[in-house]
Amino acid sequence: MRGPHNIIRLIRTGATLERTGAMKVILDAFDVGILLRVTLRSLVWPFQWLGYKGDPLMPPAPRALTALGPAYIKFGQILSTRPDVVGADMAVQLRVLQDKLPPFSMAEAKAEIQRELGMPVEKLFSSFSAPVAAASLAQVHKAHLADTGEAVAVKILRPGIEKAFRRDIDAFYFAARTIEVLSPASRRLRPMDVITHFEGVVMGELDLRLESSAAAEFAANTKDDTGFTVPQVRWHLSGRRVMTLDWAEGTGIGDNPALDAAGHDRRVLANRVLGLFLNHALRDGYFHGDMHQGNLKVDAAGDIIAYDFGIMGRIDEYTRRVYAEILFGFIRKDYQRVAEVHFEAGYVPANRDVDEFARALRAVGEPIFGMDASRISMARLLSYLFEVTERFGMETRTELIHLQRTMVVVEGVARSLDPRMNIWEVAKPVVEDYIKHSIGPKALLRDLGRTAMILSRFGPQLPRLAEEALIRLNNPAPEPKPQRRIARLSWMALGGVLVGGAMWLGQLM
């Protein structure tokens, strides 16, 4: 599927952008230079006839992306949250990609429910509305349960969406491989790994059983978060292609006039959105990975309601600590420590100069402090960050791709609510709280406890392993490698606990 035939798909992509007028709009939004602009348009102009026409009633960019398919729509959704990158007009145009796409028919929706749940819609629900939202992969209907009358949201995957998405992904793989071959310098960015990561995330979104599980876990993690709500899953009415949750009534977080009319403080909402995301990422290591305006509402009490849990992010404890130390270093303007953390984590090759890297990071961080967001060009900042990573040979960290992408989206949502918001001021108390509880004597004691629990599983075997070790000293003989490794690791871990405990006691004295 990833052969040269995908060249046609990529040519059609460029042709569609040109035919719909989106090429010029996008090049203008990104302020592309005249030479590159002329080159790109000259290459695709002869192939316009291969491009899709799209819906002529839509603006050029969403018209082209909608015609090209779900993967392109996902890309447009991300850009819709970055008015500072693509411009305010383009961002508004792209928001129709979040939940205002053309729906599929009621007959298809009811047929999907009957196939998945084994019963007709009329027996499950006393009412079943026309689609209230239609996105790239699925659409949502409002319904009332036949037995209790409670309002629920029923999400149904688009028919044939798996095949359509696979076609896009195959073309992306071909493009990534072509880029690696034609531009060896790009390999440090690991484009193939990036596409693989993107494929895994979205393919998981195409199984609503996984989304139901994600919603339940996320609700459990955030049940005590003030000002935040996650609808409950109705498991008996959910399956692979259908998912049912409690109905969430509220105002779309991207509708500023409606929020103002309802009396909500948008500055408070902006701070809450960013603070909640950082809390979920650092505290829980599990965060909503698609927090654009189309997936967030504000209820009458001012609480933020999250839904659409098809894309979730997870990062391990070690990565969370590294990420927190980097953020904390930026907040304190300790660029030397930020640079050292990058080297310690292996994000920058060891043969590079740590002091020079610290100076480059200072050039990134200093313009941010003391400025409100409206005076910061995020497009220029991201461009400079890319130059820094290229200069110091940093490879793309696939484990951080999702976190970084979501951070960009969340900041875009927050800035659309409060253009003068400063991300560092909002992040500071969250990061400081995480540092306080996760790095230091308390964290060391907790880590030692976990290590002791793991060692306790080997406790009954330690006498036998010690006896076998003494026998081998007196009568050396070949032994299976796994057994020798277990014995060595057990003694090393035990020694690590003793040394770590002594260090911790030393800090307390």
Residues annotated as catalytic are 290
Output DSSP code: residue 281: I
Residue pair 244/153 in contact by the 8 Å Cβ criterion? yes
DSSP string of 366-412? TTTTT--GGG--HHHHHHHHHHHHHHTTPPP-HHHHHHHHHHHHHHH
- Return the ∠ at Cα 117 (arms to 115 and 118), rounded to 5°: 65
Q: Which of 495, 490, 497, 378 is CA-nearest to residue 447?
A: 497
Output DSSP code: residue 284: I
Q: Measured between alpha carbons, how far is 16 from 84 in angstroms, rounded to an integer?
A: 25
Tokens for 356?
């020079």
Residue pair 136/115 in contact by the 8 Å Cβ criterion? no
- Return the ∠ at Cα 9 (arms to 5 and 11), rounded to 5°: 105
Q: Which of 19, 50, 24, 46 is CA-nearest to residue 37?
A: 24
Helices 22-29 & 6-19 angle (0-180, nearest 10): 80
Please enumerate in sequence order all residues whose Cβ is within 8 A of that of 131, keeping only pairs 6 or more positions apart, or say none: 103, 109, 139, 140, 141
Strands (E) located in 193-303: 228-229, 242-246, 251-252, 286-288, 296-298
Q: Residue 66 in 3-state DSSP? A: helix
Please enumerate in sequence order all residues whose Cβ is within 8 A of that of 442, keeping only pairs 6 or more positions apart, or say none: none
Stated as kind and residue range, the H or E segment containing 42 is: helix 34-44
Q: Residue 231 in 3-state DSSP? A: coil
Please enumerate in sequence order all residues whose Cβ is within 8 A of that of 421, keeping only pairs 6 or more positions apart, or say none: 267, 270, 271, 274, 372, 373, 414, 415
Q: Let me know if 443 is exposed, middle or buried by CB neighbors in 10 A (0-12, 13-18, 19+).
A: middle
- Return the ∠ at Cα 452 (arms to 446 and 458), rounded to 5°: 155
Q: Which of 367, 343, 358 is CA-nearest to residue 424?
A: 367
Q: Measured between alpha carbons, how far is 269 from 414 in angstroms, rounded to an integer?
A: 8
